[in-house]
Structure 1
Amino acid sequence: MSPILQGILTIIIGVGGCVGYFYLSNAVLDRIIFPARDDDQGRNIALATAVRPWLFLLPAMLALGLYLVYPVVGSFIRSLYNRSGQEFIGLDNYLQMFSEEGFRVALFNNFLWILFVPAAATFFGLLVAQLTDRLSWGSIAKSLIFMPMAISFVGASLIWKFVYANDPDIGIINAIRDYFGADPIDPMQIPFWNNFFIMIIMVWMQTGFAMVILSAALRGIPEETVEAAIIDGANPFQIFFKIKVPQIAGTIVVVWTTITFLTLKIFDIVYTMTGGNFDTEILPSYMMDYMFRDDGRATAVAFVIMLIVTPVMIYNIRQAKREA
């Protein structure tokens, strides 16, 4: 079938199916299940009104159950079996995983990412949002800073491979070292610090996201509070840290937790830059190491990642509701 024809049929069937479902479900609810008869018209209308939202949510709930809940439960069950999936071994995969040095390194690196990337991206995003609002060419600066958001993780990693290249004719770092007479180095092979060199790529990409959200929050601050602080003799630093930041604290937390959530799922950058070598392994890349040779161990790692991500996701949802 032609891809164009296939796309058109998909749209027709998808949109038509949604319209047909909502029309038929309303008709069945109002005419068959809770018909508006004279004797109990008010009661039936109230019952239909209470049931209708759940009826509309049913397709989404079924889809989430099929594509989210079922895989989570299935993955946990699979993690309790051996490599072949034939023998039940209980929590052995988890016990062996926690006893391995590679897993502990990956877990430690993940916590480094969680501590550094969201804090740095949020800080630079807030700083840029505040400074660019005072510039006549601030919109151009914001566009340039936001531009890395349009690049894929792999594309950004390839760009930074040139920055970190150990050839002075290509890599910026080694070009600077060569100018001062120092020998070239490979930043990706420097123990511990190579993790931060990789994290900089993520910060570079996410600063634009933080800047856009926080810039909108700063513009929403009432001018009266700033003017009152100026009249009281507050300097620019006091206005920013004691007047503006407290008023957008909720937005800062949402941005922070959103970037944290994304950081916990990062894989592409590490895999492209080092493949997890030189002690830069993180949990997703550690999971990929076992994906095609020990499915039970891989699903155990995936379940651990989900347990780490879930509290951040719940907190983010609650904070977003509080902001709304």
Structure 2
Amino acid sequence: MISQLVSSVGVVIAGVFFCALYYWLSDRLLQLIFPVRDGDVRTASLNLNRRASVRPWLFLGPALLLLAVYLVYPVVATFILSFYDRSGTTYVGAANYLWAVNDAQFRQAIFNNVLWLAVVPAACTFLGLVIAVMTDRIWWGNIAKSLIFMPMAISFVGASVIWKFVYEYRGGKEAQIGLLNAIVQFFGGDPQVWISMPFWNNFFLMAILIWIQTGFAMVILSAALRGIPEETVEAAVIDGANGWQIFWKIMVPQIWGTIAVVWTTITILVLKVFDIVLTMTNGQWNTMVLANLMFDWMFRGGGDSGRSAVIALVIMAAVTPIMIWNIRQASNQGGGR
């Protein structure tokens, strides 16, 4: 443990040192290539402009190189791989895409992803907005916000393990240690294997992500609510508007851009959901989503790189437009163009 901590700190220090060294050497190189000499005002001015033009690209060079190696190249390679067989050596044309269209499990994964998209972003955004409004009106609101935001610090796998105990089922006459079954049994109901109930088990898995992401939505929307001019609210009160009208007709329209950004951010996360399904059900009982299906085809049963590449491209095609729109919306919120 100590050795791992020391090595991690060493890597961070070395990384900062080499970054600083790179920027210093880059700047020195620019000064040598485009010198500024006394007595030649025109050349000095031209070289200063050249430095200003080149310096950003020189500083961004390592990041752009890493993006090209670890993002652009994998996308191109995945696209090419989607036209080959399971071993990635024999060209099969559009066979993998035809398989995806006709495969029942792929269609089930698409349906589950759509179901997640319909429920999770809406639930997280709505609950986050309601909690943000409510906690701003009570004296212990900051404590409540901290407790609600706390699940954000837990990994998806860790949260899934916690919720496994919530949904735990014990057969026979054993005492139910699962919180949900204990409550059902207390009120005279019969314990259930919740995560094996087709269709409804998807909602039980969604509850985990909602529990985690509601804190994120709450924090962002709370900050947006604090930015609403008090004059607009006071004017609405003077005009006789009640609390419900103030909330929906005065406050929500003024933070609609932030609501959209929160919604789409969670949507992107939902499209890539993987850990929760893998930990809770491993895709069984009709809970498979696209990311888990891709993992199964790539790493299980000998692997099929062609079909897994097709699924990866489908996920990317779904995520990319939303991500671009989200970045533009966030830029507009920040005053960008």
TM-score range, shorter chain: over 0.9
CA distance in structure 2 between the aligned counterparts of 1:191 and 1:12, rounded to whole angstroms: 51
Is 1:288 the equivalent of 2:295? Answer: yes
| 1:40 match: secondary structure | helix
The 1:12–1:166 alpha-carbon spacing in structure 2 relative to 1, beyond 3 Å, is closer
Offset of 1:273 from its aligned partner? 1.2
Give the alignment's TM-score, normalised by structure 2: 0.90
CA distance in structure 2 between the aligned counterparts of 1:61 and 1:143, rounded to whole angstroms: 37
| 1:166 match: secondary structure | coil
Offset of 1:101 from its aligned partner? 0.1
| 1:191 match: secondary structure | coil
Offset of 1:122 from its aligned partner? 0.5
Instruction: After TM superposition, list the pairs within 5 Å mapping 1:1-324 onto structure 2.
Output: 3=4, 6-7=7-8, 9-32=10-33, 34-37=34-37, 38=40, 39-167=42-170, 169-292=176-299, 293-324=303-334
Offset of 1:172 from its aligned partner? 3.1
Offset of 1:9 from its aligned partner? 4.9
Unaligned runs of 5+ in 1: none
Offset of 1:8 from its aligned partner? 5.5
- Identity score, percent: 59
CA distance in structure 1 between the aligned counterparts of 2:273 and 2:280, rounded to whole angstroms: 12
Aligned-CA RMSD value: 1.7
Unaligned runs of 5+ in 2: none
Offset of 1:310 from its aligned partner? 0.5
Offset of 1:91 from its aligned partner? 2.0
The 1:11–1:281 alpha-carbon spacing in structure 2 relative to 1, beyond 3 Å, is closer
The 1:132–1:13 alpha-carbon spacing in structure 2 relative to 1, beyond 3 Å, is closer
The 1:238–1:156 alpha-carbon spacing in structure 2 relative to 1, beyond 3 Å, is same
| 2:203 match: secondary structure | helix
Between stretches 313-322 and 7-16, larger displacement belongs to 7-16
CA distance in structure 2 between the aligned counterparts of 1:12 and 1:205, rounded to whole angstroms: 32
For residues 227-284 of structure 1, what are the alpha-carbon distances to aligned partners after superposition, in whole Å with 9 as ceiling and x for unaligned? Answer: 1111111101111111111111111111111111111111111111111011110001
State how many pairs are aligned.
Answer: 322
Between stretches 39-48 and 98-107, larger displacement belongs to 39-48
CA distance in structure 1 between the aligned counterparts of 2:253 and 2:52, rounded to whole angstroms: 41
Give the alignment's TM-score, normalised by structure 1: 0.94
The 1:80–1:12 alpha-carbon spacing in structure 2 relative to 1, beyond 3 Å, is same
Offset of 1:214 from its aligned partner? 0.8
